[in-house]
Amino acid sequence: MKLSDSQYYTLRRWHSLSGVVPVGAFLLEHLATNAIALDGPAAYNRGVAAIGGLPFLPAIEVLLIGVPILFHMLVGALIATSGEASVFRGRYPRNWMYLLQRVSGVFLAFFIIYHVWGTRLSPAAALHRSDLYTFMRGHLRERGVLPIYLLGTIAACFHLGNGLFGFAVHWGFAATKEAQRRAARIGFAVFVILAALGVDALLSFTDHPLRLFGHPPDTFALHAGVER
Amino acid sequence: MSEPAITLRVLRQSSPTAAPRWEGFTLPWRADLSVAACLAELRERTRGAEGESREPLAWTECTGRCNGACAMRINGAARPACTARVDELGSDVITLEPLVKFVVIRDLMVDREPMIENIERLRMGAEGGDGAGGVVAASSDPALAIARCTRCGLCLETCPQVNERSDYVGPAPIVHALLFNALPAGGAHARQRLAAIMGRGGIADCGNAQNCVEICPERIPLTEALGTLARETTFLWLGRMMGG
């Protein structure tokens, strides 16, 4: 496939935008849903049931989440493989961010496939009869799964936070040195806050919750308030 | 006790296609010696006696104050040779290699012509501006600061997006669109210049690693220039999408 110059520019613009909307927006939604688990299994299962009740959910999942992620992934693979990984002398701090953005992106491509398989497509995920909280708790107890999920969560938050800096510069929102510095700081803050929230939510499915942001869960009942 | 000495290991190459080889030299140590001064001495030494067919060490010397032409890899780091003092390098052995992002002509001399062609392609009639003359050099306008560019190539050398797998032309050519657009004679083709840097290998390939602004010996605000061009190309792109 050969793209013209203007098509190439447009492709790069869509790649940059897709990382923020809808992919970045979906990450926020996903982390927020995970965080309901901090209120206990019942609250989490209620939240999941509410999302399950949304109209046109399969279409939303495929067209607004799946396709944009796939697009961002494929164009990202082109970008990552045209860069240079070496960090030799004469490279500066910002270059680490450049490198980490690409490393996290490549890792996330594999992680997302693994994650969607393990929680949606695999026979175990598709056929389980338990509630989602119990399923996730069991899944995260399998050997090696929790570390991969922790890494995936942190990588996703970094990629979005640092990606916001790139977005601000590429689109011309941050043209001056001061604006770029500000964008980098905001991006890093987004990373740290989202990663803390994401890890906190993830660990609430385990026997060792962190509870960084608050109160103990209302109840450990699995289905309080849910019609079965 | 022996006299203090500096050992220079130079990666030499007889032609663009020849295999590179390391050659070692020893010079008496002097604190105020620059790498460029060492090279001037080595050139004499490698010239050989009358009638002897030897290849004197080749490198590009700066004329007058450092104009970046002498940039090379010194102990692995790309920098101008005439501002690198041996006492500041902190080692008795100094390795010298040609820049890796350019084709080697001979020894430490590289071909900057492709980069210069990419700069000149954007000129489109905007005469002047280069070479740091008078008013332009004194201006604090980031666009006009680009007039200080000596075309040393260090911004390409340090850019991870400039490599054989990518078409990216590098920071120096792209930011010249901003300079030429700011010159009195440049306004007429401002849109064409922006359109030219929106192609493959243009500004969209900038990866924001921001090494260029750190390494530039002339302290040109390259990332600001790239950010400004990103904004201007975004507007042009949006305008085109809306049929403008």
Residues of each domain in chain B carrying CATH 3.10.20.30: 5-111
The CA distance from A124 to A146, in Å, is 17
- Predicted confidence at residue A64, as pLDDT, reads 96
From the list A85, A61, A44, the residue with the least C-alpha distance to A202 is: A44
Report whether pLDDT(B60) > 60. Answer: yes
> Mean pLDDT, to the nearest integer, of B88-98?
92
Q: Domain B5-111 is classified in which CATH homologous superfamily?
A: Beta-grasp domain (3.10.20.30)
Low-confidence ranges of chain A (pLDDT < 70): 1, 86-90, 214-215, 224-228
- Predicted confidence at residue B138, as pLDDT, reads 56
Which of B209, B228, B233 is the closest to A94 by Cβ?
B209
pLDDT tens track for B172-201: 999 999 999 999 889 899 999 999 999 999
Q: Token pair of A94, please?
A: 């910002």
3-class secondary structure, A84: coil
* Environment class of A53 (CB within 10 Å of its CB; exposed 0-12, middle 13-18, buried 19+): exposed
Report whether pLDDT(B131) > 70. Answer: no
Gap from A162 CA to chain B (nearest CA, Å): 11
pLDDT tens track for B152-170: 999 999 999 999 999 999 9
Chain A interface, best mutation among B121, B200, B222, B241, by max A CB count within 10 A:
B200
pLDDT tens track for B61-87: 987 678 889 999 999 999 999 999 998
ipTM: 0.91
B100 touches chain A (CB under 8 A): no
Gap from A221 CA to chain B (nearest CA, Å): 49
The CA distance from A103 to B180, in Å, is 37
Answer left, alpha or beta for residue B73, where phi above 0 means left and psi between -120 and 50 means alpha: beta
Q: Is B207's CB within 8 Å of A98's CB?
A: yes
3-class secondary structure, A115: helix
The CA distance from A35 to A24, in Å, is 17
Least confident of B8-12, B71-75, B240-244: B240-244
- Predicted confidence at residue B32, as pLDDT, reads 83
Q: Which residues contact B221 (CB under 8 A, 6 or more apart)?
A: A177, B142, B145, B213
Q: Which residues contact B238 (CB under 8 A, 6 or more apart)?
A: none
- Predicted confidence at residue B185, as pLDDT, reads 87
- Predicted confidence at residue B129, as pLDDT, reads 60
Among chain A, residues having any CB pair with chain B shorter than 8 Å are 3, 5-6, 8-10, 12-13, 79, 81-86, 88-92, 94-95, 97-99, 165-166, 169-177, 179-180
DSSP string, B113-156: HHHHHHHHTTTTT----TT--HHHHH---HHHHGGG-----HHH
Which of A9, A83, A173 is the closest to B207 by Cβ?
A83
Q: Is A172's CB within 8 Å of B158's CB?
A: no
Domain B113-241 sits in CATH at 1.10.1060.10
Residue spans per domain, chain A: 5-83+97-203
pLDDT tens track for A88-112: 655 788 899 999 999 999 999 999 9
Domain A5-83+97-203 sits in CATH at 1.20.1300.10
Residues of each domain in chain B carrying CATH 1.10.1060.10: 113-241
Stretch (H or E) spanning A164? helix A145-170
> Mean pLDDT, to the nearest integer, of B18-35?
91
- Predicted confidence at residue A183, as pLDDT, reads 98
Residue A176's φ and ψ, nearest 5 degrees, are: -80, 165
Report whether pLDDT(B132) > 50. Answer: no
Gap from A86 CA to chain B (nearest CA, Å): 8
